[in-house]
C-alpha cells in the first residue's frame, strides 16, 4: 500500500509536468504571434497557461472526471472577487436565470443610465465571477446601474439556451427599470464576442415592442454575429492567433449547436451552403465587403466549396437568426439603435465587425467604430490584471466608458 502511494506521489507531478511540456511545445508549433502584439513574451506565457488548462480539462473529460468547460470555469473563478466600496452588488435570479446587479451607492439627483451586459466565452468559458471586475469598472466609471446575465452554457446546455436566457432576463429587467432607478430612455446593451451576438439578436427581437422601453444603443466588442462565412480575410490572416483559433471557433460552433464534429470541414469551407442561399446572402457576407486595407495579400479562398446537401441538412439551423443575427432582413436592421463597435486587428473575428458596420451604415444606422491595432480576442477581460494586462485592454475599456458616458 505504501508502495502504491509512493508511485502515485511520484506519478502525479510527472503527469502535470509532462502535460505542461506538451502544451508549451504545441504552443510554439501551432501559434502565430503577430508583430503588432505588445509584450509578446507575456502573451505567449498566458496562452501556454490557457492551453495547459484546456488540455488538462480535455484529459479529465476523457477519463470521466470532469468536463473541460467546468474544469476551466472552476479554476477561472478561484480568483477572489474584490468588493468595490462605491457599489452595491447583488446576486439575483430572474426565474431560473442567475444575474448580478451592480448599483452605485452614491445618491443621484436623476434616474441613472442602465447597462445590460452579456459576457463572452463562446458558451464554454466566462461566468458572472470572471467578468465581475469588468462590470464593476463599467458601472462605477459610467455611474450606471449594470445587470450582468449568467446564461446557461456547455456542456449541460446547448442552443438556444444562451439567446433564450439573455432575452428573457433582458425583458424582465426592462419591465422593472423603475425598481432599480434606471432611466428608460438610456438603456444600453453591451456584449463581448458571443455576448455581442446576443446584443444584436436581442436588439432585433425588441424592435417594434411598444410594451418595453426602446434600447438606446448597442456596445459591441470583438463581435461574433454569424456562423456562415468563416473564410473571410481575418480568418485567413489570424487563424492561429491566441486566444481564438479557427479550429476552436468551429469546434465551439459544433458543440454548442449539437452538430457532429465530422461536419467541421463542411462548416469551415461553406460546403453546407445551398447555391441559392449564398446568392441571397452574398451581398452581405462576401469578402468583397471588407475594405481593401484589411484584405490579405494572396487570392481569397474559394467560398463556398461545392455544395454538400447532407452537410446542409445537418447544419441548416446555423441560418437561424438566434445564431446568425447578421442575416436579419433589412427592415429590421434599419430600425436598430446606434452602435459603438470595437474591433481588434489581431482577431480572426475582426471581419464580423467590419461586415456589420458596413451593413448598418448602408441602412442609415449610426455607427461609431473604434479599431485597436494591437488588440486581440479576449484582451478585454485582462484590463485590470496588473502584470497580465495589456495596453490594448485598457484602451478598449476606456473607449467603452467614454462612449457610454456620452449617452
Catalytic residues: 193, 347, 377
Question: Long-range contacts made by residues 297-305, C-beta under 8 angstroms, separation at least 24?
Answer: 298/236, 300/231, 300/233, 300/236, 301/231, 301/236, 303/229, 303/231, 303/269, 303/270, 304/269, 304/270, 304/271, 304/272, 304/273, 304/278, 305/266, 305/269, 305/270, 305/271
Alpha-helical regions (H) of 224-274? 233-237, 246-256, 264-269
Contact in structure between 222 and 353 (CB atoms under 8 Å): yes
- Strand pairing partners for 115? 146, 188
Distance CA 339, CA 361 (A): 10
Task: Mention every residue, 6+ apart, whose C-beta is less than 8 A from residue 196.
Answer: 118, 120, 220, 221, 222, 223, 224, 225
- Strand pairing partners for 100? 91, 148
DSSP for 342-362?
Answer: EEEEE-TTHHHHHHHHHHHHH
Residue 382: name the closest of 169, 7, 130 by CA.
Answer: 130
Distance CA 2, CA 51 (A): 34
**Most distant CA pair in the chain, distance:** 75
DSSP for 308-326?
Answer: -HHHHHHHGGGGSTTT-GG
Distance CA 404, CA 187 (A): 10
DSSP for 142-153?
Answer: HTEEEEEE----
Pairing of strands 338-346, 367-376: parallel
Amino acid at each position: 500500500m505504501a508502495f502504491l502511494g509512493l508511485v502515485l506521489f511520484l506519478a502525479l507531478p510527472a503527469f502535470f509536468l509532462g502535460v505542461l511540456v506538451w502544451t508549451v511545445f504545441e504552443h510554439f508549433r501551432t501559434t502565430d504571434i503577430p508583430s503588432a502584439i505588445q509584450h509578446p513574451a507575456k502573451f505567449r506565457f498566458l496562452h501556454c497557461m490557457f492551453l495547459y488548462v484546456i488540455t488538462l480539462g480535455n484529459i479529465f473529460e476523457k477519463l470521466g472526471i470532469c468536463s473541460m468547460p467546468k474544469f476551466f470555469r472552476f479554476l477561472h473563478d478561484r480568483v477572489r472577487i474584490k468588493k468595490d466600496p462605491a457599489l452595491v452588488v447583488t446576486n439575483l435570479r430572474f426565474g431560473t436565470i442567475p444575474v448580478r446587479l451592480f448599483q452605485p451607492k452614491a445618491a443621484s439627483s436623476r434616474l441613472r443610465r442602465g447597462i445590460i451586459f452579456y459576457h463572452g466565452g463562446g458558451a464554454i468559458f466566462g461566468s458572472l465571477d470572471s467578468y465581475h471586475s469588468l462590470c464593476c469598472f463599467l458601472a462605477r466609471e459610467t455611474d450606471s446601474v449594470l445587470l450582468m446575465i449568467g446564461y446557461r452554457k456547455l456542456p449541460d446546455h446547448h442552443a438556444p439556451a444562451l439567446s433564450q436566457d439573455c432575452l428573457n432576463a433582458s425583458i424582465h429587467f426592462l419591465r422593472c427599470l423603475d425598481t432599480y432607478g434606471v432611466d428608460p430612455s438610456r438603456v444600453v446593451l453591451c456584449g463581448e464576442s458571443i455576448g455581442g451576438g446576443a446584443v444584436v439578436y436581442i436588439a432585433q427581437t425588441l424592435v417594434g415592442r411598444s410594451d418595453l422601453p426602446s434600447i438606446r444603443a448597442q456596445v459591441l466588442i470583438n463581435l461574433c454575429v454569424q456562423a456562415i462565412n468563416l473564410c473571410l480575410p481575418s480568418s485567413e490572416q489570424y487563424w492561429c492567433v491566441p486566444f481564438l483559433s479557427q479550429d476552436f471557433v468551429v469546434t465551439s460552433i459544433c458543440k454548442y449547436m449539437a452538430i457532429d464534429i465530422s461536419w467541421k470541414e463542411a462548416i469551415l469551407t461553406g460546403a453546407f451552403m445551398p447555391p441559392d442561399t449564398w446568392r441571397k446572402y452574398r451581398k452581405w457576407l462576401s469578402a468583397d465587403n471588407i475594405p481593401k486595407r484589411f484584405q490579405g495579400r494572396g487570392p481569397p479562398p474559394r467560398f463556398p466549396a461545392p455544395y454538400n446537401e447532407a452537410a446542409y441538412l445537418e447544419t441548416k439551423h446555423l441560418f437561424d437568426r438566434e445564431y446568425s443575427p447578421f442575416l436579419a432582413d433589412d427592415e429590421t436592421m434599419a430600425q436598430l439603435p446606434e452602435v459603438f463597435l470595437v474591433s481588434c486587428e489581431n482577431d480572426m473575428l475582426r471581419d464580423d465587425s467590419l461586415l456589420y458596420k458596413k451593413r448598418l451604415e448602408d441602412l442609415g444606422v449610426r455607427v461609431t467604430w473604434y479599431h485597436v491595432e494591437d488588440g486581440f480576442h479576449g484582451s478585454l477581460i485582462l484590463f485590470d490584471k496588473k502584470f497580465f494586462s495589456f495596453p490594448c485592454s485598457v484602451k478598449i475599456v476606456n473607449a467603452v466608458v467614454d462612449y457610454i458616458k456620452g449617452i
